[in-house]
Structure 1
Amino acid sequence: MEKDSPKKSGSFSCRSGKIDCSPDSESMNVDVNPEGPDTENGIKKEEEVCENKDESSSDLDSSCLAKLTQDVDRFISLLLDSKSAPNPPEVPSSVEKLAKLVEEEINESGGSFSKWSQDPGEGPSPLIEAVDRISKLTNALSEFPPDAKYTSSINLTSMVLHRAVSSLEEEFRCFLEDSKACTSDAMELRSTSLRQTSGSFNTNSTANNQDTSSSVPPEPDSARNDNFPGYTPYALFNLNRIATAMISVGYEAECLQAYIIARQNTFEEKLSKLGLEKMSIDDVQKMQWETLEREIPTWIKAFKQCNTVYFPGERKLCESVFSCNPSIADSLFTNLTRGVLIQLLTFADAVTVTKRSTEKLFKFLDMYETFRDLAPCMDGLLSDEFLSDTSDIRCRLGVLAVSIFFDLENSIRSDNVKTPVPGGAIHPLTRYTMNYIKYICDYKDTLEQVFREHQKMEQSDASTGSDNADRETPNSADQTEKPSPFAAQLVKVLDLLTSNLDAKSKLYKDLSLSYIFLMNNGRYIMQKIKGSTEIYHLIADTWCRKRSYDLRQYHKNYQRETWNKVLGCLRDEGLQVNGKVMKPVLKERFKSFNAMFEEIHKTQASWVVSDEQLQSELRVSISAIMIPAYRSFIGRYSQYFSPGRQTEKYIKFGPEDVETYINELFEGNPSSMVKRR
């Protein structure tokens, strides 16, 4: 004989008729029927239907379940109305029947999730509704003084309620800890249970013959990973349903504890994968800067991830799971994020109290930008307490950045090394300062903001009254003409560097070399300024024009100090007396020229001009004044020497030789002059 197909009637089963599901209205001793005689007649008819039902059937008809629960509801109502009555009502047999039926369903679930899980769109769960009634019944019975009359019923319903909630909590925890596994298992079990005559709680939405396992397909792993916290709609629906049920039956603490533990573990795993470790302020302060420097990018990544992905996702999850309890959702989110935020802010706070130094500025600015850029996200997520903490740390990072930049000024001022740089080359202080400024200006916008905030703080501290503040406030026209606080500080640093270099140039005994030193360093500064759009826009054109003028003056002074003396040997004055060339004087002039030119070549070939353009400009300008003058002098007076040895003795260099040797200057390598005719 062919077996009957499973019924999907929205009911739960009585196994082999072991539990008599027929209600016992007489046992409640109800004298008044609020619904009138028709209702009473209807109850009797329903009783007959339940009593005449074939005991071999594996399922309980929904009408029987409805009558059973109605009786329990009426009894609960009667209890609430009889608190002050001398004779409380008797417990109907329907109470025990419902409790045992729920217990049987929990026992037969075998730890599976199909008893509690549902697909989105299904109606209310009969099993959860039954548990809710048992909870209300237990509470109502407990309102009465201890009495043997209700003791057994309270023990029975409390035991069943506890077992039901334990089962709910286990499934709730499983969904939280591993929604992917639970979802697939639950849907498979539900699909299997629908193919068997299992008598599970079914809902009316499954009355059609569709397989519920296909109604909400599992999401691919990539979707879960990209959408934190990665729960499927199926999991979210059941988490919400179970949480609502647990809270409604008085097990809020157990529900919240399970939720917090699961989500805290998730956060710890996420932060661990990002490489963030828990560190105290002492741990951070004991770190070497090289180690801390590597930790800061990890912190920045974790802080951004938390405020842009994890925290918003966690808030949505709390609001989804506890949608019926917004205050619980808010409290849970605050408690969950508190530990993570304390860990993140402790690290940032520890960084702000480390010993400051110039190389730390860039990491401090990175952290400052992180707080600044994420402020709009945090404003809608974090509590006022943590918003205040993040604002305070950001402010301290800004103060640190300004202080470190002031330290650069102090380091330039305190650089009093008395040893000149060999060859008039670029001073290490110049290279360090300009490269530091170049890197700093990569953070131009941030530093502009930091210095403006610092200026406001100083003005606020310095203000002693509203009248003084009004007098000191410039008008809008003055404000537009003034440079920004950061630009003004940058100009101050450059002026200080220039003054320091001027002082260092005086360490050279050779005045010509001091001008080479000033040209080298001045040109390097100007190249760095013009090579950086950020620096150039911050430095006023007036400053750049002045420095360019100074460089031209250094060039002229160098030529005057070095080559004007050599040109003096090529003058006509003093060579003729009464129209006759004085040969001894002429010989002395050539000897002086040769000696001076050899000495200049020997000395200045070892000087350093690293900038090729400046090197070329110097050589061209020297050749432009020396070669024509020397060629003309030789043309006028070489005839006064006898050809041969006398000419070679006094005219050691031809014009081409002079030009060749000039082109060997400023190479940084001493060279011996090869005499050429």
Structure 2
Amino acid sequence: MMHILIQIWKWLMQPKVWRFVGFASSIVGLLCYALSSSFNYLFGDWNLLKIFLYSVFSLIISLIILFAKIWQHSTSLRFKAHAAFLVLAITSLYSFFFDKVMNGKPDSYSLLSCAAFSIMLLSLSRQTQCGFEIDLMYFFLGSLIVQLMKIKLELCILGVGFSYLIIILRSVFSSINVVIYNEDPTIVQDENLVVIEVNSHSPQLASIRSCVLEQLSNCVTALRQENSNIIDMLLEQLKEYLGDDSELTVSDHNFEAVLRPKENLNLMIDSIPPQTIENLHKIAKLMVGAGFEMDFSDVYISCRRGCLDECLSELGFQKVSVEEVQNMSWGDFRDKIERWIKASNVAFKILFPTERRLCDQVFFGFSTSADISFTCVCRESTLQLLNFANAIALGSRSPETLFRVLDVFETMRDLIPEFESILIGLLQNEATTIWKRLGEAIRGIFMELENRIRQDAAMGASSSCGLLGITCYVMTYLRVACESWQTLEKVFEENHGHLLKEYPKIEDRMHSSSTLSMQMDSIMELLENNLEARSKIYKDPALFYVFLMNNCMYMVHKTKDSKLETILGDAVIQKYTAKIQQHRENYQRISWNKVLDILKLDGNGSMQLNEVAESMKQKLKSFNTLFDEICRVQSSWSVIDEQLREEIRISIKKTLLPAYGNFIGRFRSVPELGKHADKYIKYEADNIEARIEGLFEGMQFINW
């Protein structure tokens, strides 16, 4: 029975209980006062304006009573002094007018309002020390006794008894309940109570505070000892995911199958002895209730923060500055990003949720303390991880860094749900800001790629009419980049304005193409413009077109059978295929129309036979010279696509061989030449065909 009474008493002494008692009392008191005769004497009958003003006033008073415990931490002593003076002055003024009108007997509403206000102020004194609550409580208790005496003198006994009870409760609130611990410092008992005056200079309070902190230290030491075992266990579970440091590779972003965050989260929580968590919870409950919340939180935060730091260190991730990132070698850059990806996934999917659950258990019943402690525990580690991502976002815009920046961007994207559910306030906003900054970095990398293409246009063209290095680089780059098309599509959704400004021609494709396809198409158009500029260095117009054919054909090959083809669509491939056909026709016209003109037969029938013979001898001589020169020069040229090369040869033979055959037939029919035809004819038809087959036999290696 005694134990039950003690538990009831402890429950009645809880600040939360009295906070709601005070709130309820304020509502009852204000409502009863509004209905009392005193109100009508002082303020007259009710109207809409009075109802509104009184409702607002009542709401403010009730909220002050409900949240006094929270507000007291931000209330200065000077403010408390001014508030006390203001309230007492208003009370004196009210007392003066109240005494003047209180000639008759009070009604029950006046009695209830005084009693309710007394309890309200008793509750306020339990929560804060503003300097006026006790005096006001005495005022309403005195008013209650006086009003009871006006009704009937004997009722003063009831008023005195009620007042005595309120004053005794007030004296109890001036003391604090502290737990006596037993001889085993790791076991916390809370069955017995000792009363100590709340005074920061009290030797008794300081002694008990020291003892409770000692118990906390023992529990924290036990928790630290478990940390190493838990970390080793976690690393063993994640061995497959973390891999071998000597063979770091950029991992797939679908981590769920390997990480199994829920399994590992349960594993870490279950690995901590329940008794350790229970003891920490009891100590937290006692210290927070006794006003030592900061002492407990500081020790707990230091312990758990050290555990997180050790985990990140074991995962191989160390703090890196922006300058260090910018000065890293390519190997170190790639290695650091791989380590960051793994550490971030483990931290946000396992370590931080573990800390959240642990905080909730240790600070059960103190949600605000749990939130603050969790944020402090994880803040430094979170900033360390976010600062690295920020360093990547602010780092080099070299096109070679794109795929590593994409890895960081996609990791941040995948962790957004964890940011929203775990991080609080500024940290959550910082994570989102850095993620958007990474998107800006990716767009900046593509801008740098465009600048590199423009700068390359000033360089000389290839003497072998083969591929430009920039063509191979850009097309391979786009082909690989489009493997991350979903990510890039999201990144470029915010980049419409830039594309329209730089490439106005693509405005008509805005509604039919995605932002990524417009970006890819614009880069290819820029590359094509670069090819046009670079080709002008060739003095031979035929070589000019062979150069354009080769590079456009490479662009088509790299586009086909890849995600780039899906993104750009058939229209783009058809556009460049048509350009190749146009370049081929221009090449054939420039190279072979002169030859065909030579082989045209004279249509002037008035020429003498000897004139005809001389003309044909000169034509054949010119043909042999020009044909030899073309074959000599163009046999060293390259057409890198085998099918295109064969198509060009076939097309040449279809136009040249019939014309040459007609010319030779006519040549042999001329009497002056027929007898000595073999003396002048250098090539037979099969010789012509063989020489054409030898065209474009320069270097033919290419890896599509």
- TM-score by structure 2 length? 0.61
The answer as to 2:589 corresponding to 1:552 is no
CA contact (8 A) 1:229 1:317 kept: no
The answer as to 2:380 corresponding to 1:339 is yes
Inter-CA distance 528–575: structure 2 relative to 1 (3 Å threshold): farther
Paired position in structure 2 for 1:659 = 689
Paired position in structure 2 for 1:369 = 410
Select which of 556, 565, 574 maps to 1:536: 565
Inter-CA distance 559–168: structure 2 relative to 1 (3 Å threshold): closer
Paired position in structure 1 for 2:615 = 585
Paired position in structure 1 for 2:517 = 487
Paired position in structure 2 for 1:627 = 657
The answer as to 2:394 corresponding to 1:353 is yes
**What is the Cα deviation at residue 522 of structure 1?**
1.7
**What is the Cα deviation at residue 652 of structure 1?**
2.0
The answer as to 2:352 corresponding to 1:315 is no
Q: Distance in 2 between matches of 1:389 and 1:568?
A: 74
* Larger helix proportion of the pair: 2
**Percent of aligned positions with the same letter in both sequences?**
32
Any stretches of 5+ residues in structure 2 without a counterpart?
1-166, 231-258, 501-507
Q: Distance in 2 between matches of 1:145 and 1:432?
A: 73
Q: Distance in 2 between matches of 1:445 and 1:414?
A: 29
Paired position in structure 2 for 1:193 = none
The answer as to 2:551 corresponding to 1:521 is yes
CA contact (8 A) 1:319 1:326 kept: yes
The answer as to 2:542 corresponding to 1:505 is no
Q: Distance in 1 between matches of 2:449 and 2:169?
A: 84
The equivalences for 1:599-614 within 5 A come to 599-614=629-644
Q: Distance in 2 between matches of 1:271 and 1:181?
A: 15
CA contact (8 A) 1:425 1:608 kept: yes
Q: Distance in 2 between matches of 1:410 and 1:614?
A: 31
Q: Distance in 1 between matches of 2:545 and 2:345?
A: 52
**What is the Cα deviation at residue 350 of structure 1?**
2.2
**What is the Cα deviation at residue 496 of structure 1?**
2.5
Q: Distance in 2 between matches of 1:522 and 1:252?
A: 72
Paired position in structure 2 for 1:9 = none
Inter-CA distance 305–332: structure 2 relative to 1 (3 Å threshold): same
Q: Distance in 2 between matches of 1:171 and 1:509?
A: 86
Q: Distance in 1 between matches of 2:459 and 2:269?
A: 72
**What is the Cα deviation at residue 417 of structure 1?**
2.6
Any stretches of 5+ residues in structure 1 without a counterpart?
1-79, 89-97, 107-114, 117-127, 183-221, 460-477, 671-677
CA contact (8 A) 1:448 1:486 kept: yes
Matched residue type, 2:555: I
Secondary structure of the equivalent of 1:423? coil
Q: Distance in 2 between matches of 1:162 and 1:484?
A: 67
Q: Distance in 2 between matches of 1:278 and 1:233?
A: 30
The answer as to 2:271 corresponding to 1:246 is no
Matched residue type, 1:572: L
Secondary structure of the equivalent of 1:659? helix
**What is the Cα deviation at residue 162 of structure 1?**
5.7
Secondary structure of the equivalent of 1:278? coil
Select which of 215, 220, 226 maps to 1:178: 226
CA contact (8 A) 2:609 2:670 kept: no
Q: Distance in 2 between matches of 1:343 and 1:359?
A: 25
Moved more, 339-348 or 445-454: 445-454
CA contact (8 A) 1:501 1:518 kept: yes
Q: Distance in 2 between matches of 1:517 and 1:181?
A: 66
Secondary structure of the equivalent of 2:347? helix
Inter-CA distance 514–143: structure 2 relative to 1 (3 Å threshold): closer
Secondary structure of the equivalent of 2:697? coil
Inter-CA distance 316–579: structure 2 relative to 1 (3 Å threshold): farther
Select which of 579, 602, 622 maps to 1:573: 602
Listed one character per residue, the Cα deviations across residues 179-204 of structure 1 (whole Å, up to 9, x for unaligned) are 7979xxxxxxxxxxxxxxxxxxxxxx
- TM-score by structure 1 length? 0.64
CA contact (8 A) 2:285 2:363 kept: no
Q: Distance in 2 between matches of 1:451 and 1:646?
A: 74
Q: Distance in 1 between matches of 2:200 and 2:628?
A: 122
Report how many residues are paired: 491
Moved more, 483-492 or 595-604: 483-492
Matched residue type, 2:218: E
Paired position in structure 1 for 2:427 = 386
Q: Distance in 2 between matches of 1:367 and 1:555?
A: 45
Q: RMSD of the alignment, in Å?
A: 4.1
**What is the Cα deviation at residue 316 of structure 1?**
1.7
The answer as to 2:340 corresponding to 1:299 is yes
Listed one character per residue, the Cα deviations across residues 250-280 of structure 1 (whole Å, up to 9, x for unaligned) are 3755654443333223212221222211123
The answer as to 2:586 corresponding to 1:564 is no
The answer as to 2:451 corresponding to 1:421 is no
Inter-CA distance 508–349: structure 2 relative to 1 (3 Å threshold): same
Q: Distance in 1 between matches of 2:200 and 2:397?
A: 71
CA contact (8 A) 2:224 2:307 kept: no
Inter-CA distance 609–143: structure 2 relative to 1 (3 Å threshold): closer
Matched residue type, 2:581: R
CA contact (8 A) 1:606 1:667 kept: yes
Moved more, 515-524 or 641-650: 641-650
CA contact (8 A) 2:399 2:446 kept: yes
The equivalences for 1:389-400 within 5 A come to 389-400=430-441
Secondary structure of the equivalent of 1:414? helix
Moved more, 574-583 or 237-246: 574-583
Q: Distance in 2 between matches of 1:394 and 1:146?
A: 51
Paired position in structure 2 for 1:217 = none
CA contact (8 A) 2:269 2:358 kept: no
Matched residue type, 1:660: A
Moved more, 595-604 or 292-301: 292-301
Inter-CA distance 288–604: structure 2 relative to 1 (3 Å threshold): same
Secondary structure of the equivalent of 2:456? coil
Q: Distance in 1 between matches of 2:282 and 2:513?
A: 65
Inter-CA distance 422–661: structure 2 relative to 1 (3 Å threshold): same
Inter-CA distance 259–646: structure 2 relative to 1 (3 Å threshold): farther
**What is the Cα deviation at residue 358 of structure 1?**
2.3
Inter-CA distance 372–179: structure 2 relative to 1 (3 Å threshold): closer
Matched residue type, 1:314: E
CA contact (8 A) 1:173 1:259 kept: no
Secondary structure of the equivalent of 2:438? helix
**What is the Cα deviation at residue 608 of structure 1?**
1.3
Select which of 365, 369, 375 maps to 1:328: 369
Select which of 261, 271, 279 maps to 2:320: 279
Paired position in structure 2 for 1:436 = 477
Matched residue type, 1:178: E
Q: Distance in 2 between matches of 1:173 and 1:668?
A: 77
**What is the Cα deviation at residue 604 of structure 1?**
0.1
Matched residue type, 2:642: E
Q: Distance in 2 between matches of 1:667 and 1:637?
A: 32
Q: Distance in 2 between matches of 1:366 and 1:303?
A: 12
The equivalences for 1:84-233 within 5 A come to 102-103=182-183, 116=187, 128-129=188-189, 132-133=190-191, 136-137=193-194, 140-142=195-197, 166=214, 169-178=217-226, 227-228=264-265, 230-231=267-268, 233=270
Secondary structure of the equivalent of 2:682? coil
**What is the Cα deviation at residue 304 of structure 1?**
2.2
Q: Distance in 2 between matches of 1:425 and 1:332?
A: 65
CA contact (8 A) 2:302 2:377 kept: no
